[in-house]
């Protein structure tokens, strides 16, 4: 009987990186106009799934799991984890904004 190959269970980014689950691309404009697949608007927002140990210990980087972020896709590395995933390892320097419900008190 052939041995089962163990599947990946967890991805931990190394160094100043985070793992981001990219948002689904827009299929419709705000006005309700359906967009064909060829005219897909690139989406560069997503949710942080995992943060590297280096980032979690850095008080100057205000990121945590499940934050919605805006990131520059140039240096984002796609992760071939599952067939239909949208996971990317993103350097912290390429995260340009974090979406917050409230303004932090220290600003």
Go through the domains of the chain in sequence order and give each one's CATH number. 17-24+43-99 (2.30.33.40)
Whether 33 has a pLDDT exceeding 60, the answer reads: yes
Higher pLDDT, 49 or 36: 49
Whether 24 has a pLDDT exceeding 90, the answer reads: no
Whether 8 has a pLDDT exceeding 90, the answer reads: no
Most confident of the ranges 3-7, 25-29, 90-94: 90-94
Could you please report the per-residue DSSP string of 62-93? Answer: ---TT-EEEE-GGGPEE--SSTT--EEEEEGG
Interval 52-69: pLDDT, tens: 999 999 989 989 999 999
């Amino acid at each position: 009987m052939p041995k089962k190959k163990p599947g990946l269970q967890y991805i931990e980014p190394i160094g100043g990186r985070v793992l981001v689950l990219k948002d689904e691309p827009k299929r419709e404009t705000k006005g309700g106009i359906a967009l064909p697949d060829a005219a897909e608007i690139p989406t560069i927002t997503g949710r942080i799934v995992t943060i590297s140990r280096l980032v979690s210990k850095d008080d100057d980087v205000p990121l945590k799991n499940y934050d919605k972020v805006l990131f520059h896709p140039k240096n984002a590395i796609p992760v071939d984890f599952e067939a239909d995933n949208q996971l990317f390892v993103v350097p912290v320097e390429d995260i340009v904004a974090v979406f917050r419900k409230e303004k932090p008190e220290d600003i």
